[in-house]
A and B are shown apart, each in its own frame.
Chain A
């Protein structure tokens, strides 16, 4: 099957990323020749185990962790569930969880279903955010209590790219003897992370957000953090996660982390400059376009822009005709009927929430692509506005 990836202008990297060609090359032997089971006693399998450990070391290196602190999972969602449920099982007397109103569904929906999953009643504090998507640290401090088992706050928001001060928040939790988890699937590989001196106990990574394949995740578990496994089974991952290793993907993630470390500067200079050019261009060329999220406390690759009085799905489908790939926080694109919970938590008005488009770039984007998008977007928005009953009203 040919999907025509050479033709698309892919600006949806917070949804998923292209698997880096180097990653594919690194994986290939483990999909063909090297099919041994790393747990086997023979050399044929044992050499596969070594490849896993090399990958583990590369991942640990990227986030300033110890290889022993890396546990492979199937995805970011599994990592999130594992961390939060482990903390609640560790402290059965503590029934309070602190999180935010803008978490990814992997954490948000887990927290909503905790009572049913565990058979115990929980109290969930969902911290509100400011209009620019940032958190109030005072409210955070006040939310922590004697019965708080764990805090789970994302490192960077997938929709707006807004970065939360998770290291500072983890330090506050530590003082109170509370475990701290962060869903860092959008942050790892995009911004420098060093867990060595942090108080973060758990951190989730998803392979496909940083040019590794889908179906591989990592849960970082700080040495000494009490832990109860989510998947019980064999002795893999030192008994912390049962199930035969997804060898090829693990090796791929290792390679992706090596690449991310090497490209970190490029991500934060060239990609950031491209993002800024795109963002500034759209905000100046198109009237009544608004930036969602803090101007600077943000991932270098993400721009979430609302075009007032038009609807996101319609914008995306017009962009699709030019093979431009992006996402929207509109109701119609989510399959639900309400616009993004993130934008609603920020208090983005309905005039703007339905018409939000998220552009998320990667090192594979070029300036020519940004120029092309800047060339096409104004007419798309103008045409849809000409059709919108609210646009003429708004401009009376």
Chain B
């Protein structure tokens, strides 16, 4: 709060970005914040929620707020990997093979209902997310910078879906749900009507985004906070209710997102509160609970909350 010295430009633009999204989504403050934070931390976001609460709206509004291209793919069981990556076509006129980039070649890619696609397509997407490049017919094509995938999935409709395995979920930096808006927000929404593309105009240039991303990576993390992150991650591995704990990558991403959140709070160092704020979004979808824990209707969020409550904050 006090004693921060973020570059004022990026602080201002971050605020603008957040305002833009709030305007579009109405409610879902935490989801908005996480979406922006993940974007600035160069991660990928998994939005899991019931239909109609604004998953797609959030994704599209974010994409629209940033100067850049947007790719949108509606995942279906018959979607093929090449539908995402693009294909190489032989041009008879020139007698050469020409690469036609797919929807992945965009600043922000919206993967709607990712759990509806076949595991084959899913893993193709996830590989691209990790590698940040597309390999088609032996040729690698780099994806643009910045690059973010916002995947949505519907937890209720289980018929004909292919839930992402834990290993795959690990590639998403964070998973958030939007939740139903508060009463006033919903009333506002009814009054103003739903969001339409075109309502939101880009507020960030590519250069600004790059600048902000660099700024986030420079946010200071003290040894104490680093130890705290480590302790949290390790605690998930030792917890009784957890079958598979958080990976080292999870720790890295926890720290990265905490940095990003700190920057959004216009602070140039990470405090334990930042780590706690992103704890469930980052680790929640990565923990595989034991069968008995699941049957006891314990959720990963419960486990993480318990860990947070028992682990002393560094000083």
Partners in one complex: no
Q: Which residues of B contact A (CB under 8 A)?
A: none
Q: Which residues of A contact B (CB under 8 A)?
A: none
